Chain A
Amino acid sequence: GENVEQHPSTLSVQEGDSAVIKCTYSDSASNYFPWYKQELGKGPQLIIDIRSNVGEKKDQRIAVTLNKTAKHFSLHITETQPEDSAVYFCAASFTGGGNKLTFGTGTQLKVEL
Chain B
Amino acid sequence: EPEVTQTPSHQVTQMGQEVILRCVPISNHLYFYWYRQILGQKVEFLVSFYNNEISEKSEIFDDQFSVERPDGSNFTLKIRSTKLEDSAMYFCASSLTSGAGDTQYFGPGTRLTVL
Interface residue? A73 (CB, 8 A): no
Residues of B within 8 A of A96 (CB): 100
Residues of B within 8 A of A94 (CB): 100
Interface residue? B75 (CB, 8 A): no
Q: How far is the CB of A62 from chain B (nearest CB, A)?
A: 15
Quick one: which of B43-70 are within 8 Å of A by CB? 43-45, 48, 55-56, 58
Contacts A44-B43, A89-B42, A105-B42; is A97 near B91 (CB within 8 Å)?
Answer: no
B108 to chain A: closest residue by CB: A43
Do residues A97 and B56 form an inter-chain contact, with CB atoms below 8 A?
yes
Residues of A in contact, count (CB < 8 Å): 28
Do residues A99 and B99 form an inter-chain contact, with CB atoms below 8 A?
yes
Contacts A95-B99, A98-B98, A99-B99; is A43 near B107 (CB within 8 Å)?
Answer: yes
Do residues B95 and A42 form an inter-chain contact, with CB atoms below 8 A?
no
Closest 9 CB pairs of A and B: A43-B106, A98-B56, A32-B100, A103-B43, A95-B100, A32-B101, A98-B55, A105-B42, A103-B42
Known: A43-B4, A46-B103, A89-B42. 20 other contacts (CB 8 A): A32-B101, A34-B103, A43-B91, A43-B93, A43-B108, A44-B43, A44-B106, A45-B106, A93-B101, A95-B99, A97-B100, A99-B31, A99-B98, A99-B100, A100-B45, A100-B56, A101-B35, A102-B45, A105-B41, A105-B42
